[in-house]
Every structure is written in structure tokens, then in C-alpha cells.
Structure 1
């Protein structure tokens, strides 16, 4: 698999809020692809580690503790979806999933098991770099802007920001990094309507595509984990043709 773009050194650009080198774990069985991507990302200031087999991935994640993971869907041994689902409870960083398959079901499934972003092969280096930077900026900027704790919904919802933990009705809620970040944005201004475009730009730092369903999928997963009835939600409300809001 070859990259669908000229492999050129992009301008080095430090991500806001992080003074050290970010570490990336690239998990893909295409050796030519991983060599090229690894070279490109290294030239752009990232520390890159590569794993070419699914069976080694979980152990490598636990050992290397990367800031971000690029994970192929189709791997020998353990597949990408299984890996993503297994690591998500203990890995708070962004996960960008790759696939050579053009299938909405794969994208939906990937997001549901905890992926933060999704890209189809062949990969354009500059596009991949933009997505990596957007995911790392999203995480860094949220941490910078966070207080110690957010208490909302008449005290029923409590968000421990430094430890990225959530309690609702005194029950611990296990959220992916994408779900947590979405909840923090909504809980920071309860009762305020956030459009899909506004949420997308806050989270991804990228232009909004009206056909992109990632925000809707995250809201759906968040409702399910919070036990909020999607037909008659009391906590996370959909405002028709406008967006979403969190109850006060």
C-alpha cells in the first residue's frame, strides 16, 4: 500500500499546550505503509513506534504508553476493533482508526468501541498529520481550559476533570476520551444549545461536513452510558434543527 501523496517534510508545528515530543504508536501490518508514515511523522517532530501484528498490539500499548494510537482495522491475529475495545477503558488518549474498506458499518462500529477518528486508505500524509494535530490539540486545549471539577444537573452529574472521571446519580460512568470531551463541553454551559457544527469545530478543530455523523454517534453513545432514554431524554436533549444541550 503506497501513500496517496508526495512524502514531503511538512512545517514543524508544536501542538499547543504540550512542550514535549508526542509519542505515536502506529499499528498496521503494511510494512511499506508504516515505514513511510513513520518517516513522515518523525520528520514532523513526533516519536513513532510501529507494530505490524495485532497479537502484539495490546502489550505494546501498555509498554510504550503512547499519546496517540493509529490503528488499522484489518490486522493479522487480533483485529483493530477488538484491540480498540480492549484498551479503551484504560487508554485515555486519541485513537485514529484506519481501514481499506469503504463501509459505513465499519465506521460506526469503530466509533462505538471507542475510536476518536476514522480515515480510509490510501492515506494522504498531510491529511493524516492534520487529523493527528487536531486530536492532540483537542485534548490539550480541553485540559488547559478545565477547572478541577464540573458539577451539573442539580448536582447529579459530577465530572472530575484532572482524572477524567464521571459520576452520574452517584454511579461511576466509564466513558471514552471522545465521549468525555463532548460531555465536558456540554456541561461547561448547561442549558446552552450547541450546534453540531460548533461541537465538531470545538472537538476536531476542523471544518464541519454536514454528512459527518460523528457528533450524533457520540451523543448516542453518551446517552446510552448515562442511561438517558433517547426517545424522552431528560439529561441530553436534542433541539430540533439546532443541536444539543445538557439539562441544567
Structure 2
């Protein structure tokens, strides 16, 4: 299973053995020993999984886990010693997704990593489905306001993107001019206001410039617009 791991462990022997074992299993592993470097590394590497020892020099694993959750959405597995007083509830409240106690056995660690990554991929797919819409090869991402056709970006204005997203979400159906006006920021609906028509015209030109010939925006007289297969 493809997975980029950041290992934060100050014990040289444990860190070296863990890194070697996980790399032998096909994982990509970056290893640091100092807790004070952890947050910058998590931010720059953006690993799928952080394996985090609680007892670290520079900054404790507890602080790292809590502070990382302000910007990091990947998985965190905490490594605890048997005598650590942190309860399971406390670890999960800090932001940990799982924990494992020392001494860590390799096959158990791998099994836990695989379980976490299955969860992580399900979450990513669920989040992606909330933001991604597509029709006739055109894909829009509402999270970052981008649109693509055959993986090539479309150069759209904000209002053109909003109209395209609306039409894609209602592909094959007529969207009223009033609905378009409500969605596009800065346009007040009026039967005499042609602003939305001008934006539709501009969007049509952008689709032609992008060599999108299998989808067209049809004007439905006295009703609105419809994105259909050409």
C-alpha cells in the first residue's frame, strides 16, 4: 500500500530498525529525532501518516500532536511506553487516530498502518466527492475553484466558474436565468438584466477555446440554459 510516513523517534536504535523495517515493506519513510523540528517537517512533507513518539527532546509528542491538528489532516499514530499515563481517551482528544505501545512488533505495526490507510483513503474519497463534479469530460472542484477538461485547466473568471459548476451539477436539465443570477455573485435578477447572458456567452467562448466540442450550453427560450452533450 502506497504511503508516505514521517517517523518522529529520538531513540536511534528503535528509529533505525523501524525505518528499515517499513522501507522493506515498501513504505517511504522520513525520520527525525528532535521534537522541535516536527511541526515544520509535518507541514513541509505533508505525509500520509505520522508515527509519533510521546517522549521527545525539544517538544513533546503531546504538544506536537495537538498543534499539528491546526493544519494537518493526515493520520497520526502515537507510540507510547507502557508506563505512560496518557489514557486512550486523552490521546484521541489530542488528535491521534491510533496508538501502539512499546516494544513495537513489526508485523503489528504494519497491520495497524494498513488499517489506518484504509480509513484515510475512505475519508479522502468521501471529501473528494463533496467537492468534485463532472460532465462530458469537464471537471470542476468547488474547494479550490478550478475547472479542467481532459486534465487541462480552463481559464475562467469567478462568475464563469460558478455558472459552469451550476450547469454541470444540473447536466441535461434546464437551469433558469433567475437561478443562475442567484448563484453568480454581484448580479441581481431582472428580466431586463442581460448580465447573465453576457457571462454565458463568455463561458461558451472559453469552452470553444479549450477545444471542448462534445458539450454545449443551449439556451432554452423563456426558461434558461442547459448543458448537454453535443
TM-score (norm. length: structure 2): 0.54
The structure in which a higher percent of residues are strand is 2
**What do you get for the CA RMSD once the two structures are aligned?**
2.1
Where do 1:113-128 residues align within 5 Å? 113-128=94-109
Question: Is 2:125 the counterpart of 1:133?
Answer: no
State the Cα distance separating 1:81 from its structure 2 match: 0.5
Which structure would you say has the larger RCO, counting Cα contacts within 8 Å and 6 or more residues apart?
Answer: 1
TM-score (norm. length: structure 1): 0.50
Of stretches 137-146 and 84-93 in structure 1, the one that deviates more from structure 2 is 137-146
SS at match of 1:101: coil
Q: Name structure 2 gaps, 5 residues minimum.
A: 132-141, 144-230
Specify the structure having the higher radius of gyration (Cα): 2
Where do 1:1-248 residues align within 5 Å? 14=1, 21-103=2-84, 105-144=86-125, 147-148=129-130
State the Cα distance separating 1:106 from its structure 2 match: 3.9
Query: Contact (CA 8 Å) 1:72, 1:99: kept in 2 or not?
Result: yes
State the Cα distance separating 1:110 from its structure 2 match: 1.7
May I ask how many residue pairs the two structures share in their alignment? Answer: 133
Query: Contact (CA 8 Å) 1:102, 1:120: kept in 2 or not?
Result: no
Q: Name structure 1 gaps, 5 residues minimum.
A: 1-13, 15-20, 150-161, 164-248
Deviations 1:92-151 (A, max 9, x none): 1110000113456343322111000011100000111111110011111233356427xx
